Amino acid sequence: MNLSRWTAVLLISLNILLAACTDTQPEQPIPPATATPEQIKPTLLPITPTAVKDKIVIGAILFQNDNFFETVALGMEETAEAAGADILFRFHEHDLDLETQWIEEFTEQGVDAIIISPRVEDGSVDAIQKAYEAGIKIVCFNGCFTEDATDKYVSAVLETDQYNLGYQVGEYLAGWLVEQEIDEPYVGILSCCDRREAGFRQALADNGVAWSEAVNMEGYLAEPATAVGETILQNYPQVNILWAENEGGTVGAVNAIRHQNQAGEVFVFGIDVSPQLAQMLLDEDDILQAVGAQSPRQMGNLAVQAALNAVTTGQDAGYNHVPTAFYSRDNREAVETYLQTP
């Protein structure tokens, strides 16, 4: 199905955070050095493109229709098209019953592979088991099923290291504070992702930053996060840094500072990238300073590649972290390149 068609038909409202943030913490990962998009090197296991059998059919299930998932789907569609495969998209609004229904439908149709971002890790395991037993290859992106189910039924997992994504931003903030000669920042947190927050905190600790946490409030959708940000600024006037853990929270934090006329006094560091956030990095108001970003298009590319290889060769790609990117106000060229990329 053409990407523009399903985008027009399936408008799903944002109502939870994106990006597979869970309470599970990883085992002490090695913190990354802050890098520009040009410096980041893929760490994926090799996935070698292969000749595709006559019309492989892939079913793709996504649980949210926002910038992140739309870009993942774009990557999926372009890779499937280049390989001559058909890809069928199904969305659900965080509805486990509907997720299960789509898996069962794809199983009945006899697709060759199912690519899925499970809403919760144990929600559709029985349906996935039946798909696997029917000979369908399973590829996860942005998260996966329980460890046991993943080991038994899944050929490849492609996701972002959420801990290191947060660490990257915290590390950049530590250097920025030195440049700005800010000794003890007061930080207001718009939270939504435990793993990102843990990485952010560890980066500040590793860099010896003495900081005060003024307040931590949930905020991950742009409009509600704007209200949260304004509440923080009104009730905690000592705050000079807002840290937001996803796209909506970052947009809300910037909007809150604008509404309160505190540009130049309070600065934002966030997660995710979109055309709106990229433009905020270029705006002269100097509010948004930097964002750590996932690579959703590459995630979609690699998920389809892994599915094609699993179908045609039986090759399993295993578990892989998709490289992240980083955009900051002091690297305008990288931000402009992002905006110019189709």
pLDDT in tens, 73-119: 999 999 999 999 999 999 887 788 999 999 999 999 999 999 999 98
Q: Which of residues 63 and 165 earns the better pLDDT score?
A: 165
Record the pTM: 0.77
| pLDDT of the residue at 119 | 85
Residue 7 in this model has a pLDDT that exceeds 50:
no
Mean pLDDT of the chain: 86
Q: Can you give the residue ranges of every domain in the chain? A: 41-159+296-322, 163-293
The domain 41-159+296-322 belongs to what CATH superfamily?
Response regulator (3.40.50.2300)
Closest among 307, 267, 272 to 287, alpha carbons compared: 267
Tell me the per-residue pLDDT of 123-154, one tens digit each, with 9 for 90 and over.
999 999 999 999 999 999 998 999 999 999 99
For residue 24 the two structure tokens come to: 């599970």
**What's phi and psi for 140, nearest 5 deg?**
-105, 145
Supply the pLDDT for residue 24: 37
pLDDT at position 196 is 96
Asked if domains 41-159+296-322 and 163-293 share a fold, the reply is yes
Q: Who has greater pLDDT, 28 or 96?
A: 96
Residue 28 has pLDDT above 80, yes or no: no
Residue 123 CA to residue 227 CA, distance in Å, equals 33
Neighbour tally for 275: CB within 10 Å: 10
Looking at 65-74, 247-256, 285-294, which range is the least confident one?
65-74
Residue 330 confidence (pLDDT) above 80 = yes
pLDDT of residue 65: 66
Mean pLDDT of 282-286: 97
pLDDT band for position 12 (cuts 50, 70, 90): very low
Confidence class of residue 252 from pLDDT cuts 50, 70 and 90? very high
Q: Mean per-residue pLDDT for 58-69?
A: 85
Residue 47, pLDDT above cutoff 50: no
Give the lowest-confidence range in 23-27, 94-98, 271-275: 23-27
pLDDT band of 21, cuts 50, 70, 90: low
pLDDT of residue 68: 84
Give the model's pLDDT for residue 19: 42
pLDDT at 180: 97
pLDDT of the residue at 74: 95
For residues 212-232, give the mean pLDDT: 96
* 35 or 238, greater pLDDT: 238
CATH of the domain spanning 163-293: 3.40.50.2300
- Higher pLDDT pick, 42 / 311: 311
| Alpha carbon distance 9, 137 (integer Å) | 28
Q: Are strands 212-218 and 186-191 parallel, antiparallel or unpaired?
A: parallel
Strands 267-271 and 288-293, bridge-based pairing: parallel
pLDDT of residue 312: 95
pLDDT at residue 249, rounded to an integer: 96
Q: What is the mean pLDDT of residues 40-58?
A: 54
Distances, alpha carbon 20 to alpha carbons 69, 160, 195, in Å: 12, 9, 10
Q: Are 197 and 166 in contact (CB under 8 A)?
A: yes
The pLDDT score that the predictor gives to residue 341 is 85
Q: Is the pLDDT of residue 15 over 60?
A: no
Alpha-carbon span 182 to 221, nearest angstrom: 29
